[in-house]
Amino acid sequence: MSRPQRLLIDTDTASDDAVALMMAFRSPDVQVEAVTIVAGNVPLDRCVQNALYVAELCGYEGPVIAGAGAPLMRALGTATEVHGEDGMGDIGLPLTGRTPTPGWGPQAIVDAVRANPGELTVVTLGPLTNLAIALLWAPDIVELIPRVVCMAGTGLHGPGNVSPSAEFNVWVDPEACRVVLRSGLPLEFVGWDISIASAVVTPERAVAIRALGTEFADLALDVQAVLETYADTETELDGPDLPDPIAMAQVLDPSVATVKRVHVDVAIGPDPMRGALIVDRYGFTGGEPNVDVVTAYPEERFFALLADRLR
**Each residue's pLDDT tens digit, 112-147:** 999 999 999 999 999 999 999 999 999 999 999 999
Q: Residue 210 burial by CB count (10 A; 0-12/13-18/19+): exposed, middle or buried?
A: middle
pLDDT digits (tens, 9 = 90+) for 51-70: 999 999 999 999 999 999 99
- The CATH number linked to 46 is 3.90.245.10
Angle, helices 129-137/174-181, rounded to nearest 10 degrees: 50
DSSP 231: I
26 close to 309: Cβ distance less than 8 angstroms? yes
Q: What's the one-letter identity of residue 197? A: A
CA-CA distance, 189 to 153, in Å (whole number)? 7
Task: Give the N- to C-terminal CA distance of the chain in Å, as an integer.
Answer: 23
User: What pLDDT, on a 0 to 100 scale, did the predictor assign at position 157?
Assistant: 80
Counting the structural domains of the chain, the total is 1
pLDDT at 5 over 70: yes
Q: Reduced to 3 states, what is the DSSP secondary structure of residue 30?
A: strand
CA-CA distance, 218 to 42, in Å (whole number)? 22
Closest CA to 166 of 142, 186, 185, 193: 193
Q: What DSSP string runs through 232-263?
A: IIII--SS-B-HHHHHHHHHH-GGG-EEEEEE
pLDDT digits (tens, 9 = 90+) for 188-202: 999 999 999 999 999
Instruction: For the chain, count helices (H), then strands (E).
Output: 13, 9
pLDDT at 258 over 70: yes
**Cis check: omega of the bond before 159, within 30 degrees of 0:** yes
Query: What backbone phi and psi angles, to 5 degrees, belong to 99?
Result: -115, 120
Find the range with the poorest average confidence among 43-52, 157-166, 286-295.
157-166
pLDDT at 271 over 90: no
pLDDT digits (tens, 9 = 90+) for 301-310: 999 999 999 9
User: What pLDDT, on a 0 to 100 scale, did the predictor assign at position 1?
Assistant: 59
Strands 277-280 and 258-266: antiparallel
Extended strands (E) in 181-229: 187-190
Which domain covers residue 59, as residue numbers? 5-310
Q: Reduced to 3 states, what is the DSSP secondary structure of residue 8?
A: strand
State the pLDDT confidence band at 94, using cuts at 50, 70 and 90. Answer: very high
pLDDT at 2 over 80: no
Q: What's the one-letter identity of residue 254? A: P
pLDDT at 77 over 70: yes
How many Cα atoms are found within 13 Å in the side-chain-facing hemisphere of 270? 0
Q: Residue 269 burial by CB count (10 A; 0-12/13-18/19+): exposed, middle or buried?
A: exposed
